[in-house]
Amino acid sequence: MPSPNTTIGAKRHPEKQKNEAIPQPKRPDWLRVKAPAGELFDETRNLMRDLNLVTVCEEAACPNIGECWSKKHATMMILGSICTRACAFCNIATGRPDLLDPHEPEHVAQAVAKLNLKHVVITSVDRDDLEDGGATHFAHTITAIRALSPATTIEILTPDFLRKPGAVEIVIEARPDVFNHNMETVPRLYRTIRPGARFEHSLSILAQVKKHDPMIFTKSGIMVGLGESDEEVASIMDDLRGAEVDFMTIGQYLQPTPKHAPVARFVTPNMFSYYEGLGEKKGFLMMASTPLTRSSYHADADFAALRLAREKKLSI
């Protein structure tokens, strides 16, 4: 946006103050991107403002915003802009959540239609305050998009719906084309990086989607550079394949502010290529592994490739 709440405040998160004095490694050249600008970028931004929509592109300070918005690709973030969790990697504001906007699904659908998107990614903040964690709002958004843009394929990136029985089923029954839930990091780091989540629960969501509807593509991603080892990256690949996940993304973690988790290492492009090859050997239909990879980066092209990969596999 940026809103005054975008940067997590020290008062709400005193435990993150210890990161301020930790010197960070210099950002390498391969992570430098152009500043966002241009007519198409401005058109996308203005449309988001006109429809009162929130995007994860802005709220999470995504480094790819300039490229994506210049192509009129934006990842809409529903359920408000305030999260009920305080993950150590995330730049989205934490605090008392916004009231649900009953017109939000309609506004998202209008944006998808005006941008003429072939593929759209819808994500959200965590809403632990809601009985269903926001699952019904996801379903309504999918339905609204289908009504205005029936040819558009829909990818959702959901929270974990922890302690929200029946929530995952609500979203599955709305039949998104891709159900994405990010693991974010390796199990060992959950307590410090993703303290409000549970690794096994997140993994079970992805397995549940495949069990309920094998034709929905499942997707998950992690960040590297948080202190994980390469062996742990390989191990989480095995965990995801055990849950029959189709598509895995791996990108470099970038510290949003000094109050967030520090960068432990900058992984080289060659190592990202190694991860990609390893994932392909382990059986993922699709791997996206580069320093700038994010969940929705090049999602339209990746979906087309994902669908083609499944068709090829089924024809063998």
Amino acid in position 272: F
In this prediction, residues 90-118 reach a mean pLDDT of: 91
How far is residue 118 CA from its own chain's centroid?
19
Beta bridge partners of 169: none
pLDDT recorded at residue 58: 64
pTM of the shown model: 0.86
Whole-number average pLDDT of the chain: 87
Helix (H, G, I), strand (E, B) or coil at 137: helix
| Residue bearing the bigger pLDDT, 131 or 22 | 131
| pLDDT more than 70, % of the chain | 85
- Parallel, antiparallel or unpaired: strands 217-224 and 247-252: parallel
Q: Which domains does the chain have, with CATH numbers?
A: 34-315 (3.20.20.70)
Q: How many CA within 13 A on the CB side of residue 6?
A: 15
| Residue matched to tokens 């072939």 | 118
The two three-digit tokens of residue 206, written as one number: 């992805």
- Is 145 within 8 Å of 153 (Cβ atoms)? no
Q: CA-to-CA distance for 252 and 66, rounded, in angstroms?
A: 18
Per-residue pLDDT at 235 exceeds 90: yes
The closest of 181, 134, 137, 130 to 155, measured between CA atoms, is 181
> Which residues are within 8 A (CB) of 281 and not within 5 positions of it... i.e. 6 or more apart?
none
Out of 36-40, 213-217, 233-237, 299-303, which region has the weakest mean confidence (pLDDT)?
A: 36-40
Cα separations in angstroms, 291 against 5, 124, 172, 253: 27, 23, 31, 8
pLDDT recorded at residue 57: 63
pLDDT recorded at residue 139: 98
In this prediction, residues 144-173 reach a mean pLDDT of: 97
Q: What is the DSSP string of 243-268?
A: TT--EEEEEE---SSTTSPPP-----
Q: CA-to-CA distance for 80 and 149, rounded, in angstroms?
A: 23
Helix (H, G, I), strand (E, B) or coil at 288: strand
pLDDT recorded at residue 5: 33
Q: CA-to-CA distance for 277 and 203, rounded, in angstroms?
A: 22
| pLDDT more than 90, % of the chain | 67
| Residue bearing the bigger pLDDT, 49 or 116 | 116
How far is residue 97 CA from its own chain's centroid?
19
